[in-house]
């Protein structure tokens, strides 16, 4: 698949308490495949406020997309989604 110069935003669900060593790894796996296909990833988010050990979703200090933990931080979900969508609007203009 050729996604050269196409913008891609990724989100994923995970449980940082039960799976601290592979929290939202799916985001990282998707990111790797999209980048290999030439896509430009947008919508990275800060790891601030999360407690986990490792994640394939990390690119430096940021997730390669939006990480949601409904099991342990459901109260932060709406705010995280709102912020992410507002940032994506800027990216897709």
Domain ranges of the chain: 7-91
Give which of 38, 39, 56, 41 is closest to 9, Cα–Cα: 41
Rounded-to-integer distance, Cα 53 and Cα 39, Å: 28
Give every residue of the chain whose pLDDT is below 70, as ranges.
none
Q: How many CB atoms lie within 10 A of CB 7?
A: 14
Q: Give the bridge partners for 46, in sequence order.
A: 62
Q: Does domain 7-91 have CATH number 3.40.50.970?
A: no
Q: How much is the pLDDT for 26?
A: 98
């Amino acid at each position: 698949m050729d996604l050269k110069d196409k913008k891609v935003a990724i989100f994923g669900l995970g449980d940082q308490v039960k799976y601290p060593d592979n929290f939202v790894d799916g985001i990282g796996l998707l990111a790797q495949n999209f980048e290999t296909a030439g896509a430009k990833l947008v919508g990275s988010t800060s790891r601030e406020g999360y407690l986990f050990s490792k994640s394939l979703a990390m690119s430096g200090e940021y997730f390669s997309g939006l990480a949601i933990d409904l099991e342990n931080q459901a109260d932060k979900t709406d705010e995280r989604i709102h912020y992410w969508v507002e940032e994506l609007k800027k990216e897709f203009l």
